[in-house]
Structure 1
């Protein structure tokens, strides 16, 4: 896949089509940014899930202690 994109870049630069090359480069940058944002979103969702599970676990432990103390 990388070879394919490298070939496109070289062809655009060799043919003197700099405006098309800049459009291509901008598109590639946008795709990378979108990928990073998706990865950050998924990481935040996973973190929130683990925090929620910890809270549920702590609440269960507190409930168990309260029942034992009564």
Structure 2
């Protein structure tokens, strides 16, 4: 593929077709820019996906911690009530 583009570039330069060569060069630049933009978009998508995974993991752990604390406080409240009822 690279040889194909190189051949086109050399043919245009040898035949002194400056206008066509400039169009070709601009086309190459546009392709490179499009490739970079696609790579940046894929990178952003991957970072967002990783962030959501981490966020979900933290939220799951937070839910587990809250349930555990609720169970502990419920036990403490029952113990405290029983202690005061017997006193």
Work out whether the TM-score is over 0.5. yes
Length-normalised TM-score, structure 2: 0.79
Length-normalised TM-score, structure 1: 0.97
Task: Report the secondary structure of 2:16's partner residue.
Answer: coil
Distance 2:56 2:5 in 1: 48
Is 2:7 the partner of 1:7?
yes
Runs of 5+ unmatched residues, structure 2:
71-87
Q: CA deviation at 1:18?
A: 0.6
Provide the alpha-carbon RMSD of the alignment: 0.5
Which residue number in structure 2 is paired with residue 48 of structure 1?
48
Is 2:66 the partner of 1:63?
no
Aligned length: 70
